[in-house]
Structure 1
Amino acid sequence: MFVIKERKQTWFLVALMSLMLLLVACSNDEESNSDTEGNSSTEQSTTSSDNTSTESTGDGLSGKLEIQYFVGGYGDGWWKQVIGDFQKQHPDLEIVEHAGPNINTEMNTRWISETPPDVVYIDGAGASETQMIAEGQLMDISEFAKGIKLENGTALLDSFISPAEEVDGGKIYSLPLVFDTWGTWYDAKWFEENGWEVPTDFDSWISSMEKIKADTKIAPFVTTGQHTQYFHRGVLNPAFAAAGGEELLNDLNNGVVEAWKKPETLEVLKKVEKIAKAGLIDSGFAAYNHTQSQMNFLMHKNAYIPVGFWLPNEMKNDTPESFEFGFTPTPMNDSGKPLALVPDIRTIAIAEKSQNPEAAKAFLEFIFTEEYAQAFAESTGAIMNMKDVDLSSNTNVQDFLKNINEMINNPGAVHTYKRYTPDAELQKIAVEITNEIKLLIIDILLGEITAEEFVDKMVKKAEELRK
């Protein structure tokens, strides 16, 4: 009897210990799942683009691929799509996404500690390609880029609307992914209802604004006075480019004294002065932030506004149903000359310290296709920087973007001028010049200084910085 009782106790103890181990294991699993669900959305590890398990095929890339991308007005839908499709092709590859509106700040320590992600989309606050190149953070991808071919056999470098930038004696450190630009917006439906012509040069723009003012009693033009870079990039830069080409555009913004003394520069500012003197500018613009100026525009308190491609997406929740966005390169060009566009390019690059350069290069090559260019236009309301992408039959792309795309690919009507990234030594000068321009924009639009006074002040500033 004693032996039987002892065995019963032993089995009871074994069962109890097994139960306790099972409970501990379950508890650990729950804690692990809880931690995963609570992680920030700025970092996501992907091993499959859907909820089903993907067995290894033995083909494709492996290891870890980290991708950093800024999420702003374009959203992250396109990124999710291309990364998911890339994952399907390479099921053994672990893809980690670092994304969000503050991702450049959040990832700064990784770059400083020389443990960066493999791929970086350079956009948003805190991102400076010039600085990254100067600090040796980006890989020289010149030879790799020259070897990339599209589906039709065309070299990728020959397929960009705005070419890849070459620095340091012809080296390529990034590929131009997004073609954005600043221009002038209007309500196409409102214009059609009132018989107002869309301007094609400065004289027709002045005539258009004068007619609109007479018909509606509103000030036709509005911009934000709190963020004068909108006028600088949306009006002045295309005007400078139309007047003197890329050389004048870049020299002015880099503080070259002789450029500010050129007659073409004064002619551009005389046009700005003419708009102000004619009373065509909203008198309250100086106090408006960008949102207020855009709201006024949508409510037909004004008819023209200079903004980038993101305007329709940014204001989609506030846009009246009857409003139909129309866009034109800002018509500061002389009659008979093509409209001028100055691209605002967003690039993608590979880190010099990439731990998986093979996968990083494969990803860059993967995204530059007709399919993903179409998807980009659908998802973002902007254009991938690729020529001859026909959006006309894509029912998921808004009409204004189709018109812009057609316009950009028509060199007879529109000429594209590139604002080159200044060398590291010129960066400080360029920043100071920009700050001075932004201050003087307010003064000339309010009619407090003349075009000649604007030029004189800029010459003095450029001379001071160039000493």
Structure 2
Amino acid sequence: MKNVTALLLSLVMVAVLLAGCAGNKNKEPANADPGTSTTNPTNEANVYPENGLSKDEKVTLKMGFWEAGSGRTWMDLAVKKFSEKYPNVNFDITSTPTLSTILEPKIAAGDDNDMFDLFIPNFSAAGQLERLANAGKLEPQDDLWDRDIPGETGKKLRSVISDDAYDTSLSMGFTARVPIAGYTAGLFYDQKLFDEKGWNKNPATWDEFVALLDQIKADGIIPITFPGVYAGYLTDYVFNTIQFDLAKANGTFDTYIKNFRSFTGPQLTTAENKEAWNRLYEFGKKGYFPAGVAALNHTQSQMQVLQHKAALVSTGDWVGNEMKESTPEGFTWGFMAVPASNDANQTVFVNSGVGDTAFVIWKNKPDQNKKWAKEFILSLYDFKIQESIAADAGAFPARLDFGDDPARIAKLQPTQAAVMEYATKHKVQYISYRREFGLTSPEHGQADKLLSELITAAATGKKDPSPVLEEAEKLKQIAIEKDRPKK
């Protein structure tokens, strides 16, 4: 239980939280759809006591739901429970794994009536979230922190969210979204295959890890696979954590992470980051990754592990849920991270986050729609919904107190259990890549494009990463200078 609680306390991460001006008064737009919301005065007897909203006023919330590997079972339950409690509120849901292809044209069209009231911000364009926030397009959700969790009088939302998640939510100046669920990521594998082959499931040092990969390759199996179509799976979930391992090992972690969060000093050309990329490059030259990896998508790379064509896949703990229909009988997911030094007692960093599962609210919508959208977001912290997030979505619930009840812990899926088991055998520290502000300048996008293209080139042993890191660093520093908030 101690390790479980430690893990849940650590799942506070983020991928790109938003910024903007929180001080503007919210006004219902003049062109609001009259069929969506009305503003007639309400009789105090016909309001819900917990929020003061009208029982008579009919509201339809248009939702954009990113139906990723975690599926939508938990969301269907959340909508059902909310509609039963508040029958005057209906939902018009667009659910798709390619939500970005719908969101981006809607935003470009500039039609607020056609835009979703609330949506999971899934975009393909780098910096899109920050641009929306800076343009004043997103509704602040700061007032939710001091609200009681539904059905738990006196227990504020803030009290069940970690300090790191809270700081992340406010890092751009206002709360554009609050974390609903988390994830962990790294290398996942079939424990049964490892047992059959006699492979080391818990390498404690870098040399042991490399020896494992050599043994796997000698047995005629691809050591590590990843989706080259989404090459960031390899860096974000595995190799980018090595820089923190190395900084911890040499006693400079506190300074290193502070500079990382605040964009202070070099970002890509630190000795630690260059060493991480060089190790990836060396693995590429040794043939540790699949031939033709650039053409693989995430499910294809995960299927290689299910079919025992590859031993380890770089992905997130949602893989069990995402691949459940294809998982053969007897397959048991295992997990490992990369121990970057040769100290068997070293701290091993594991990537984790909550950025994928959170809603933003479109600001230029009727006030009642925005209020009800906030009520719905708050309802997602009900334990029944958080339990469904664990059992049905295969994700870590955001509530810090989720692990207080062993019955709730039992609802976690095998992939999360595998991460917890690994944490009992190693000194694990969970880490996010959150920053204190976002980068939106073109140079940032150019730098990220260089890095994205570098991943598969390095992983196939075709390109030395050092010159590209130097080039990308120059662009990144220009973006940092442009985008750093002015005091």
Q: TM-score range by the shorter chain?
A: 0.7 to 0.9
Residue 211 of structure 2 corresponds to residue 207 of structure 1: yes
Residue 61 of structure 2 corresponds to residue 66 of structure 1: yes
Q: Which amino acid aligns with 2:130?
A: T
Which residues of structure 1 form unaligned runs of 5+? 1-44, 46-56
Residue among 282, 304, 327 paired with 2:312: 304
CA contact (8 A) 2:209 2:338 kept: no
Q: Which residue of the partner structure matches residue 53 of structure 1?
A: none
Residue 184 of structure 1 deviates from its aligned partner by: 0.8
Q: Which residue of the partner structure matches residue 136 of structure 2?
A: 136
Counterpart CA distance in 2 for 1:432 and 1:316 is: 37
Q: Which residue of the partner structure matches residue 14 of structure 2?
A: none
Sequence identity percentage: 20
Cα–Cα, structure 1 residues 331 and 112, in superposed 2: closer, same or farther, change >3 Å?
A: farther
Residue among 437, 450, 453 paired with 2:451: 437
Cα–Cα, structure 1 residues 213 and 112, in superposed 2: closer, same or farther, change >3 Å?
A: same
Residue among 106, 110, 115 paired with 1:109: 106
Once the two structures are superposed, residues 2-31 of structure 1 have per-residue CA deviations (whole angstroms, 9 ceiling, x without a partner) of xxxxxxxxxxxxxxxxxxxxxxxxxxxxxx
Residue among 374, 377, 382 paired with 1:361: 374
Q: Secondary structure at the match of 1:184?
A: strand
Counterpart CA distance in 1 for 2:277 and 2:337 is: 18
Residue 331 of structure 2 corresponds to residue 323 of structure 1: yes
**Larger relative contact order (Cα-Cα within 8 Å, sequence gap ≥ 6):** 2
Q: Which amino acid aligns with 2:132?
A: M
Q: Which amino acid aligns with 1:303?
A: A
Q: Which residue of the partner structure matches residue 415 of structure 2?
A: 400
Q: Which residue of the partner structure matches residue 293 of structure 1?
A: 301
Residue 392 of structure 2 corresponds to residue 379 of structure 1: yes
Which residues of structure 2 form unaligned runs of 5+? 1-34, 36-44, 248-252, 479-487
Q: Secondary structure at the match of 1:381?
A: coil
Q: Secondary structure at the match of 1:368?
A: coil
More displaced, 218-227 or 364-373? Answer: 218-227
Cα–Cα, structure 1 residues 99 and 363, in superposed 2: closer, same or farther, change >3 Å?
A: same
Residue 430 of structure 1 deviates from its aligned partner by: 3.2
Residue 468 of structure 2 corresponds to residue 457 of structure 1: yes
Counterpart CA distance in 2 for 1:348 and 1:413 is: 33
Residue among 270, 276, 290 paired with 2:284: 276
CA contact (8 A) 1:201 1:339 kept: no
Cα–Cα, structure 1 residues 133 and 311, in superposed 2: closer, same or farther, change >3 Å?
A: same
Q: Secondary structure at the match of 2:165?
A: coil
Q: How does 1:22-421 map onto structure 2 within 5 Å?
A: 58=46, 60=48, 61=53, 62=55, 63=57, 64-68=59-63, 69-106=65-102, 108-109=105-106, 112-115=110-113, 116-123=115-122, 128-149=128-149, 151=152, 155-160=156-161, 163-164=165-166, 165-167=168-170, 170-198=173-201, 199-214=203-218, 216-244=219-247, 258-332=266-340, 335=343, 336-344=345-353, 345-346=355-356, 347-355=358-366, 356=368, 357-390=370-403, 393=407, 397-404=412-419, 413-420=427-434
Counterpart CA distance in 2 for 1:225 and 1:169 is: 32
CA contact (8 A) 2:268 2:472 kept: no
Cα–Cα, structure 1 residues 444 and 177, in superposed 2: closer, same or farther, change >3 Å?
A: same
CA contact (8 A) 1:221 1:302 kept: yes
CA contact (8 A) 1:235 1:332 kept: no
CA contact (8 A) 2:242 2:273 kept: no
Counterpart CA distance in 2 for 1:105 and 1:221 is: 31
Residue 158 of structure 1 deviates from its aligned partner by: 4.5
Q: Which amino acid aligns with 1:383?
A: F
Residue 169 of structure 1 deviates from its aligned partner by: 6.0
Counterpart CA distance in 2 for 1:349 and 1:122 is: 7
CA contact (8 A) 1:119 1:360 kept: yes
Q: Secondary structure at the match of 1:272?
A: helix
Residue 387 of structure 1 deviates from its aligned partner by: 2.5
Q: Which amino acid aligns with 2:61?
A: E
- Structure 1 length normalisation: TM-score? 0.74
More displaced, 248-257 or 165-174? Answer: 248-257
Once the two structures are superposed, residues 435-458 of structure 1 have per-residue CA deviations (whole angstroms, 9 ceiling, x without a partner) of 2122222332223344xxx22321
Once the two structures are superposed, residues 302-359 of structure 1 have per-residue CA deviations (whole angstroms, 9 ceiling, x without a partner) of 2111012332233333322222112234444663332223334222233323422332
RMSD between aligned residues: 3.6
Residue 157 of structure 1 deviates from its aligned partner by: 3.1
- Structure 2 length normalisation: TM-score? 0.72
Higher-Rg structure is 1
Q: Secondary structure at the match of 2:309?
A: coil
CA contact (8 A) 2:395 2:416 kept: yes
